[in-house]
Structure 1
């Protein structure tokens, strides 16, 4: 229970951090708005042409007597739209992070510097394009995992009793876990953790990840909420990553100034990296891997 509360606290802490740095908030909305438009367009296509697609995919029902063909295809159309809606919830974060990876990485680094004792942030040491490739590859892997879970849970939803009780709860927990992984991926990747290591790390403290991701998943069901909560969710996920690795989290208000650190290269222009030990093999990333890496 303590970890559940701590995870929810990181979610709120990220929103508070974003409120103290309002100058970068507007720019942080852009990736979510772009993703929202793309997803809404896809759902509209499913709503308008879903019935035609189902009819095309079920030619064997053409000779069925009325009303069975219509009922069968109507159910499949509803199932198709519901599956699209579920997958959009599960994948919204991953796609938004891909679109806004440059900003969100800078935002995560700003949070790290703000809450660390020495004012520094771990660095991956990878080139920009290599970093983009790794993030894209890992996001696609998570998308596949999320899609498999989504289809499985959707199918189990038709099981009497279980589908109406256990499956919804399991769905929110699965969604919360993947949301936590996707949002914390940038901070953990900068510390040198590969996808397999990140998943193993998150599994060691599932209640902490659920406390962060499950309420966020519920909030994302509210229309347009994901767009406005995403910048603060990225900030909160950085706090979550620090907690998972046992790194200290100071109150950033002591270091906050009237000038917004802002996203992008300008935010890092005045940042002087700390000593090699802060980012190298002996840095916090290595400590986290030693303590929490897969056995």
Structure 2
């Protein structure tokens, strides 16, 4: 499976908004809660960013007004952009930690629709919280790396954005796909070995989901579809695996 097939799994998940709207609305609840909290924190940062930057850069007080203004304006843009990236990459982890029972219902219904052997239970609420928090930590590390690359002159912003999209998308895909696979008894090494055979699909799926999260309110609407799409991807990988 390649990049295009991975993107197609997200499209299959999005079709459930038309076919199973009640099921998908269930997945909006945790995404909406986390989205509102992150949006409030982001707005607060934007409002107080000027004061924060002025406090953190006292050495610039003696510069000429024009240079000081340009310098702090650039820092403001970097801080806001970094906070935005951090909110995006941590959104999924926090949402999965809060809403694991909701998303377990979605992937089980997708499993039932595909037929065959269906796990009778998920990974558990506590394990879901732990996995979600690990994804948050990885998201923070990714945001720091992207922010540092963004400081490079001329091409830093473009390279940082592209790298952040790829890295965070890959992390996101791995976490979402792990749910249905772990419920089938596959440990971390087995899951990694299975999905290593479908790197292109994992990348295509993760990047497309992450790109949707960049759209305002996109994460809230796409998150249930992403859970469903990850289940389709996991089942396809299992069906293609040697018996």
Q: TM-score, normalised by structure 1?
A: 0.73
Question: Is there any run of 5+ residues in structure 1 with no aligned partner, and where?
Answer: 249-287
Cα-to-partner distance string for 1:208-237 (whole Å, 9 max, x where unaligned)? 111211122222211112211211211111
* Partner residue in 1 for 2:239: 247
**The structure with more helix, counted as a fraction of residues:** 2
* Partner residue in 1 for 2:100: 101
Cα-to-partner distance string for 1:65-91 (whole Å, 9 max, x where unaligned)? 433333333322221111000111112
* Partner residue in 1 for 2:37: 38
* Partner residue in 2 for 1:231: 224
* Partner residue in 2 for 1:156: 149
CA distance in 2, matches of 1:36, 1:160: 32
Q: SS where residue 71 of structure 1 aligns?
A: helix
* Partner residue in 2 for 1:27: 26
CA distance in 2, matches of 1:85, 1:58: 22
Cα-to-partner distance string for 1:235-254 (whole Å, 9 max, x where unaligned)? 1111112223x237xxxxxx
Counterparts of 1:189-268 in structure 2 under 5 Å?
A: 189-195=182-188, 198-199=191-192, 201-244=194-237, 246-247=238-239
CA distance in 2, matches of 1:173, 1:193: 25
Question: Is there any run of 5+ residues in structure 2 with no aligned partner, and where?
Answer: none
Give the aligned length.
242
Look at both structures and tell me which one has the larger radius of gyration over its CA atoms: 1
1:151–1:195 Cα change, 3 Å: farther
CA RMSD of aligned residues (A): 2.5
CA distance in 1, matches of 2:223, 2:185: 24
* Partner residue in 2 for 1:62: 61
CA distance in 2, matches of 1:143, 1:203: 23
CA distance in 2, matches of 1:205, 1:92: 25
* Partner residue in 2 for 1:87: 86
CA apart distance, 1:53: 1.6
In the alignment, is residue 187 of structure 1 matched against residue 180 of structure 2?
A: yes
Q: Is contact 1:176-1:210 (8 Å) kept?
A: yes
